[in-house]
Structure 1
Amino acid sequence: MKFRKPLKITQRASSVTNSFVQAVIPWVPPSPTQQSEALKVLGMEDGIVCAYCGGVASDWDHLRPLVRNKRPTGYISDYKNLVPACGRCNQSKGAQDWRSWISGGAAGSPTSRGVADLSNRIAVLDRFESWGAVSPLPLEELAAPELWSKHWENLRRLEEALQEAQRHATVLQAEVRKTSGTNSRCIAPELSITLDTHTGDCRKTP
């Protein structure tokens, strides 16, 4: 069992970006009838499982990602773009194209885990995608350019603030380590290991 490294402030940058995109994307909550219709297409009338691997479903995943390269793809949160997923598949897939991911060797993908009957699962997802016939919306044409510019400028400033906050936190952590004596756990001159004051990590010097 591995010890988890302490989180850095900048590790939340991708979550912030996703939040900025999802905050402006339309969300259409499905009615019970619509949800049942979608599950029927997925062959899940008798029980909901992960559409990618058949495991225990814990999330609704966007089959076509909402965010790519820090910008909206044009797809929205709609019942025709949502499939049940387990946490492992959801995390592994991220913003990747579902076909490339499910058949690829990414860590946690169904193929990398040797999931059985994968060709059938792909066929079901193909059927779901054809049934939904979802097309991306031209989101940037649906609001004034200055509103979009302001939104992305807000994101840029927040990202810069996170980076500055991490730099300050690293300096502060180094001071706390020095004062508390915990630097000795990191600094080992005989092994050429020292504290990197920029990142807060232990580094082996050349």
Structure 2
Amino acid sequence: MFTLSDVYTAEQEIKRSRFVAIAAPVSDEAAAKAFIAKASHGDANHNCWAWRLGPSYRFNDDGEPSGTAGKPILQAIDGQDLDRVAVVVTRWFGGTLLGSGGLIRAYGGTAAECLRLAPKTRLIAMTALPVTLHFSDLAVVKSRLSAIADSQIVSEVFTDTGARLDVRVPTDYAADTIALVTDLTAGRAVFEDHDR
């Protein structure tokens, strides 16, 4: 599963109608709505859009015949295994009717081309592992955690006897990370409840 690294734009002309797709990574529904509002053009005939956030999605045909714009845009997102993405495809009418099939190909194709060319980032499921350590264990644990790909120490709060680390690791490595830290500290590390 991937998301976009940055905003990306692609454009094509089909039978004198101009189609411009703008795609962006979004973190939640509010961000998707804000992006759609910003990316839409007031002087265009149609600003059709779709977004996907995990199992949630929305699409809109903005006046085009039902199912000919928003749904093909969503299918372009899903077809490229993308998540946390919003796409707006804007159309300036060129005077030639495209018909339902032509609209589906135009909106879906413009969105797909934009997403195909856009820079992508792999999405990694992460698990939070809050852990409390003694001072004597802190350096070695931090060193070993930094060697785990994509892991990060989000915060470090010192206590009288050591520190509490808020660690995020790829979910696939959560159990191994707990075992590693437990072994390194001879069982002195205390893990709080963590998400799975």
Please report the TM-score for the alignment, with normalisation by the length of structure 1: 0.25
Bigger helix fraction: 1
Bigger strand fraction: 2
